[in-house]
């Protein structure tokens, strides 16, 4: 009696099926709505108390603040990513996938597809609230580059969060671990105030850390300029993407 040859599903079809599952869950469980609302709340909470002091210093705060809110929206998306990756591990989905001929990069890529939807929703929320308070793009071309840079940064932090969630197998722990460095990076960046507003000893860090560089690049793009910060931000994003992809695939390959 001849042994039946197992059916092998192409990796592309596996990715498509898992992506559709993740995207449907993002809409069904309210992730997309929350992703839109979160940057709106962040923007209002920071804009209202700081607007007068920044305006007195001659800063158009609506224009100045939006790039940081876009960055913060990507961090918020990353917290979703870590939570979802941890849930898949804790819920046994990874174990079920391991029993199938699924390559280790496919679940990661599928989760990234769903996270892209969340990231686009979060960025849309940021741009909507910024536009209501007076934020404007200088021209369509730099506006497109702005969106691409923001989403690229989002992909970098999302895949790092995915690796963390997969490795810890604990949704709550992943979100907690992400919150502290995210908060420190944002609060010590030039996203809220220029570097001159910090004490002298911390100004070099505030000026050159990745959040400041990405925010400065986005701020320049919003004004129609390709600044030197754009190149630095691209290097940061590329490095984070490479590290995150390697860690995420390795963590997925070791799933139990």
| pLDDT tens string 232-242 | 999 999 999 99
Q: What angle do CA 134, 135, 137 make, to 5 degrees?
A: 135
Containing structural domain, residue 39: 30-48+59-253
pLDDT of residue 199: 84
**17 within a domain of the structure (yes/no):** no
Residue 83's pLDDT band (boundaries 50, 70, 90)? confident
**5 within a domain of the structure (yes/no):** no
Structure tokens at 204: 């070099």
Kindly list the distances between the CA atom of residue 239 and the CA atoms of 80, 164, 184, 190, 233, in Å, as whole numbers in the listed order.
22, 17, 20, 21, 10
**20 within a domain of the structure (yes/no):** no
Q: What angle do CA 217, 176, 202 make, to 5 degrees?
A: 45
**140 within a domain of the structure (yes/no):** yes
Nearest Cα residue to 169 out of 85, 66, 55: 85
Q: How would DSSP label each residue in the chain?
A: -PPPPPP---HHHHHHHHHHHHHHHHHHTTHHHHHHHHHHHHHHHHHHHHHHHHHHTT--HHHHHHHHHHHHHHHHHHHHHHHHHHHHHHTTHHHHHHTTT--THHHHHHHHHHHHHHHHHHHHHHHHHHHHTT---S-HHHHHHHHHHHHHHHHHHHHHHHHHHHHH--HHHHHHHHHHHHHHHHHTSTTTS-GGGS-GGGHHHHHHSHHHHHHHHHHHHHTT---HHHHHHHHHHHHHHHHHHHHHHHHHHT--
Nearest Cα residue to 73 out of 184, 171, 147: 147
Lowest mean pLDDT of 59-73, 121-135, 186-200, 232-246, name the range: 186-200
**235 within a domain of the structure (yes/no):** yes
Name the residue with higher pLDDT: 11 or 183: 183
Q: Give dist(CA 62, CA 134) in Å, integer.
A: 6
Asked whether 154 and 119 are in contact (CB, 8 A), the reply is yes
- Say whether pLDDT at 103 is over 50: yes
Mean confidence (pLDDT) of the chain: 83
Domain tally for the chain?
1
pLDDT of residue 256: 46
Instruction: Write down the pTM of the prediction.
Output: 0.85
**117 within a domain of the structure (yes/no):** yes
**14 within a domain of the structure (yes/no):** no
**12 within a domain of the structure (yes/no):** no
Structure tokens at 80: 């979703």
Of these ranges, 2-6, 82-86, 229-233, the one predicted with the greatest mean pLDDT is 229-233
């Amino acid at each position: 009696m001849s042994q039946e040859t197992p059916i092998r599903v192409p990796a592309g079809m596996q990715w498509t099926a898992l992506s559709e599952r993740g995207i449907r869950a993002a809409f069904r469980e309210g992730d997309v709505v929350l992703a839109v609302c979160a940057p709106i709340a962040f923007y209002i909470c920071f804009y209202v108390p700081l607007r007068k002091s920044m305006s007195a210093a001659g800063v158009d705060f609506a224009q100045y603040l939006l790039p940081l809110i876009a960055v913060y929206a990507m961090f918020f998306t990353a917290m979703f990513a870590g939570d979802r990756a941890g849930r898949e591990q804790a819920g046994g989905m990874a174990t079920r996938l391991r029993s199938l001929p699924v390559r280790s990069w496919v679940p990661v890529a599928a989760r990234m597809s769903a996270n892209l939807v969340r990231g686009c929703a979060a960025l849309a929320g940021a741009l909507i609230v910024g536009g209501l308070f007076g934020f404007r793009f200088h021209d369509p071309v730099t506006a497109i580059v702005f969106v691409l840079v923001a989403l690229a940064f989002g992909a970098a932090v999302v895949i790092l969060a995915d690796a963390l969630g997969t490795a810890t197998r604990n949704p709550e722990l992943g979100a907690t671990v992400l919150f502290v460095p995210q908060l420190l990076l944002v609060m010590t960046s030039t996203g809220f105030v220029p570097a001159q507003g910090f004490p002298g000893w911390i100004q070099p860090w505030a000026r050159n850390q990745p959040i400041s560089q990405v925010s400065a690049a986005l701020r320049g793009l919003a004004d129609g300029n390709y600044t030197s910060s754009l190149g630095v931000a691209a290097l940061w994003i590329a490095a984070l993407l490479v590290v995150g992809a390697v860690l995420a695939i390795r963590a997925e390959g070791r799933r139990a």
